[in-house]
Amino acid sequence: MRAIWKGHISFALVTIPISLFSATKRNELSFHYLHKKDMSPVSYKRFCDSEDREVPWDEITRGYEYEKGQYIEITDEDIERADVELSRTIQIMEFVNESEIDPVYFDKPYYLEPQKGGERAYALMRDALAQSKRVGIAKVVMKTKEHLAAVKTVGDMMTLQTMRFAHEIQDMNELNLPKAEVSQKEMDLANTLIDSMTDKFDPSKYKDNYYEKVMEVVQNKIAGVAPQLPAAAAKAPGKVVDLMEILKMSLNKTRKGEPEAQVLLSHEETVTAGSGRASKSRTKKSR
């Protein structure tokens, strides 16, 4: 892996030189735009409007529009002059319990590796965070943008996970959330179903099935085989669905080792709870 950022972690009087690596990689298909007539690639050219000509990369810079149609050039050196220390520092402001942080605030993870001379301080901070079960809330500048971030210990490593600021989170109070009452019998059955499907988390078990299916279509087309559309599921007529019966059916299937039951509810269907109450349901899929 190649480091994408180098600087240091700083809190109080402690400074630890580190390198930052992206912890994730994209698993996406890359498609190109083509001219449908002859299947030639469609290129995008960098064009100067005033000179009416294509511009090579070495003549391109970036700038800020301070008035309509008026620009000033902004270089990497200009950006660093804004605050050299801030652009090279993961500044920890405080330590908090990770359990206090809503997962919606977490964004992208990165690995932190000590630079030469910082190994001992790195190990000390890593082990102290692990023992205290706390994470450091920090600010860091990457790619001209300031991020809120969490520094925490994962095994033998420290990681940095960028976070969203509070103003970037949508207000959940705008959602129309249900306030349904359920019986203890329904709750017990639902918990039994959850217990029967509970296992130790193993991320290697989960595959990107959609990526594999699209690649299969691509390979078939390369081989000259026309892709076939999957058969559409038949729409069931509107009917009353008993929630208790669905839970019992799901529990029986999981106990037998069969794939979990899937129930598709249309706008015309209603769910009846064990107490006999009925309520309109939105279209949804329960797994």
Do 251 and 114 reside in the same domain of the chain? no
Do 153 and 186 reside in the same domain of the chain? no
Do 108 and 162 reside in the same domain of the chain? yes
When divided into structural domains, the chain yields a total of 2
The token pair that represents 158 in the structure block: 């420290």
Task: Of 117, 169, 132, give the one whose Cα is nearest residue 148.
Answer: 169
Task: Give me the pLDDT at residue 125, please.
Answer: 95
Task: Give me the pLDDT at residue 287, please.
Answer: 41
pTM of the model: 0.66
C-beta of residue 190 within 8 angstroms of C-beta of residue 247: yes
Do 128 and 186 reside in the same domain of the chain? no
- Which CATH number goes with the domain that contains 106? 2.40.290.10
Do 12 and 146 reside in the same domain of the chain? yes
Q: Is residue 43 included in any domain, yes or no?
A: no
Do 101 and 134 reside in the same domain of the chain? yes
DSSP-assigned letters across all residues of 1-60: ---SEEEEEEETTEEEEEEEEE-----------EETTTTEEPP---EETTTTEE--GGG-
For the chain, how are helix, strand and coil distributed in percent, rounded to 5? 30, 30, 40
Q: Is residue 73 included in any domain, yes or no?
A: no
Task: Of 94, 77, 79, give the one whose Cα is nearest residue 148.
Answer: 94
Task: Give me the pLDDT at residue 284, please.
Answer: 43
According to DSSP, the residues that pair with 159 across neighbouring strands are: 111, 152
Task: Give me the pLDDT at residue 149, please.
Answer: 95
One digit per residue, the tens of pLDDT, for the chain of length 287 reads: 889 889 999 888 888 999 999 998 877 777 888 888 888 988 888 888 888 889 998 999 988 888 888 889 888 777 766 665 667 899 999 999 999 999 999 999 999 999 999 999 999 999 999 999 999 999 998 877 889 999 999 999 999 999 999 999 988 888 888 888 888 888 888 888 888 888 898 988 888 787 888 888 888 888 888 777 766 665 555 555 566 777 777 777 777 665 544 444 444 444 555 544 444 444 444 44
Do 148 and 238 reside in the same domain of the chain? no
Q: Is residue 157 included in any domain, yes or no?
A: yes
C-beta of residue 140 within 8 angstroms of C-beta of residue 110: no
Do 138 and 268 reside in the same domain of the chain? no
Do 110 and 185 reside in the same domain of the chain? no
Q: Is residue 162 included in any domain, yes or no?
A: yes
Q: Is residue 275 included in any domain, yes or no?
A: yes
Task: Give me the pLDDT at residue 256, please.
Answer: 65
The token pair that represents 213 in the structure block: 């299916």
Do 16 and 145 reside in the same domain of the chain? yes
What is d(CA 192, CA 196) in angstroms, rounded to the nearest whole number?
6
Q: Is residue 131 included in any domain, yes or no?
A: yes
Task: Give me the pLDDT at residue 231, please.
Answer: 66
Task: Give me the pLDDT at residue 209, please.
Answer: 81
Do 147 and 282 reside in the same domain of the chain? no
Q: Is residue 75 included in any domain, yes or no?
A: no
Distance spanning both ends of the chain, measured CA to CA: 38
Domain enclosing residue 105, as ranges: 5-25+80-167
Q: Is residue 35 included in any domain, yes or no?
A: no
Do 189 and 248 reside in the same domain of the chain? yes
Task: Give me the pLDDT at residue 83, please.
Answer: 60
What is d(CA 235, CA 266) in angstroms, rounded to the nearest whole number?
9
